Amino acid sequence: MSGSMQEEYDYDYARAVGERALAYLKEYALAPNPRCYALLYNHTAGYDQALSRAVLDAVHAHGRLTPADAAKLCDQFLSPNGSLAAAQDGLSGRVDAVSELVDRAQQAFGGLNVSLRDAAQGFVHCSNARAAQEIVDDVVGAGNRVIEETRHLQRKLKQSRHEIDELKRSLTRLRERSDIDPLTRLPGRRLFDMRLGHAIERARRYKVPLSLMIADLDDFARYNRAHGRDIGDRILKAVADLVSKAVGGRGAVARYSGDQFAAILVDTRLEAAIRLAESLRAQVLSKRFVRRSSGRSVGRVTLSIGVALFCPGDTPETLIDRTMDCLRTAKRLGRNRVRWAASTAIAQAD
């Protein structure tokens, strides 16, 4: 594995891109606040064709990147400020609505308390059966009305909860945007760890199968050295796409580190996971990567893949460790292959 297993980002590369981005910002006399820096950083690194095109168009139109244009591009390509305001208003409305519903509940039961107090008084001073029956009828009637009101309130509360879930989801999406890798457009490690935790919880509770796959580009540093960063980046992007397509709807893919991709395969048994990994390996092997300028091939690109099945008692850490062990074994045995573990003991089968 290219020694960058722990650290996700390359210091020197980031520094070069950052300095270039800052130079652009100076040239455009655009205040380098974090949002504008992020915009120009992504543009300089060439991560997003659409973003770069938009930046160049804007510069061409005005001779520089105006603050107004920058704000628009940030909203479009980074995270939108607009939906935040909408979520804020939505939440505010929901909080007010729920507050009102609780008010009504308080009123309803306050009223019931009055009826109960009256009934108690009535029972104390009651002198005949008919009077007693009347008191009973009154208080039971009051109780029934409150039950009716309660049902209505519960319905409204559940409706509010549903609306809040929607708002929460959009807020989560907004928040998660900061952990999306701009090159591959995949979520990063932080998001991945969170999702793995959820997936394991689900597998544990519903007793459904769960597999984890970690794929590592073999000898990736070599491409950067031999052909330069852009080739390396293009390869990463292409492999990321292949991984996403292979996994499809079966689970979540993430860029786990510099040259590693991880996939959580829900409701997937080991056999299916192995087939998926094997198919992915073959696809990457057969893909031809060529330099755009010369049309010459940059050589073979291969993946080593580790696959592990979730076992009862597994935590995210133990599952990841086991998968990484399989991955390391695959590397040791010559790369360009898949290794898996069916249980907490590693299998060496081929």
Partner 1 sequence: MGNIGVREEHDFDRTMHLAELSLAYLRRLRTPAIPRYFELFYAYAAGLNKKLNAAVDTLLAGDSALSQTEAAKLYETFVAADKPEAKLEAVGISLGAEINAVVELLQSASDSTEAFGESLQQVSAQLGPTTSSDQLRTILHTLLTATKRMAENSHELEQRLAESKRQISELQKCLEQVRVESHTDPLTGIPNRKRFDEGIHEAIEEAKTTGAPLCLLMIDIDHFKKFNDDYGHQTGDGVLKLVARAMKANVKGRDLLARYGGEEFAIILKNTSLQGAAILAEQIRRAVMGKELVRKSTGESLGRITLSIGVATYKLGESAQSLIRRADACLYGAKRLGRNCIKAESELTPTGASGSRAA
Q: Which of residues 268-307 bind partner 1 (CB under 8 A)?
A: none
- Per CB under 8 A, the list member of 23, 56, 61, 120 interacting with partner 1 is 120
- Per CB under 8 A, the list member of 2, 5, 94, 185 interacting with partner 1 is 94
Q: Is position 126 an interface residue for partner 1 (rule: CB under 8 A)?
A: yes
- Per CB under 8 A, the list member of 5, 116, 208, 347 interacting with partner 1 is 116
CB of 30 to partner 1, least distance (A): 8
Compute the distance between CA of residue 88 and CA of residue 22 in angstroms, rounded to an integer. 33
Q: Which residues contact 340 (CB under 8 A, 6 or more apart)?
A: 270, 273, 274, 277, 306, 307, 308, 309, 326, 347, 349
CB of 159 to partner 1, least distance (A): 10
- Per CB under 8 A, the list member of 105, 231, 238, 347 interacting with partner 1 is 105
Using the rule CB under 8 A, give the single segment among 7-15, 279-287, 303-311, 319-327 that binds partner 1.
7-15
| Of residues 95 and 285, the one with the C-beta less far from partner 1 | 95
- Considering only residues 144 to 173 of the shown chain, the ones binding partner 1 according to CB under 8 A are 144, 146-147, 150-151, 153-154, 157-158, 160-161, 164-165, 167-168, 171-172
Compute the distance between CA of residue 219 and CA of residue 302 in angstroms, rounded to an integer. 9
Compute the distance between CA of residue 209 and CA of residue 319 in angstroms, rounded to an integer. 13
Q: Where are any strands of DSSP class E within the chain?
A: 210-217, 251-257, 260-266, 303-309, 338-341
Among 350, 303, 343, 295, which residue's Cα sits nearest to residue 319? 343
Compute the distance between CA of residue 313 and CA of residue 85 in angstroms, rounded to an integer. 43
- Considering only residues 57 to 86 of the shown chain, the ones binding partner 1 according to CB under 8 A are 67, 84
Q: Is position 9 an interface residue for partner 1 (rule: CB under 8 A)?
A: yes
Which pair of structure tokens corresponds to residue 266?
Answer: 């829900």
String of contacts with partner 1 for each residue 172-201, x by CB under 8 A: x-xx--x-----------x-----------
What spatial distance separates the first Cα and last Cα of the chain, rounded to whole Å? 21
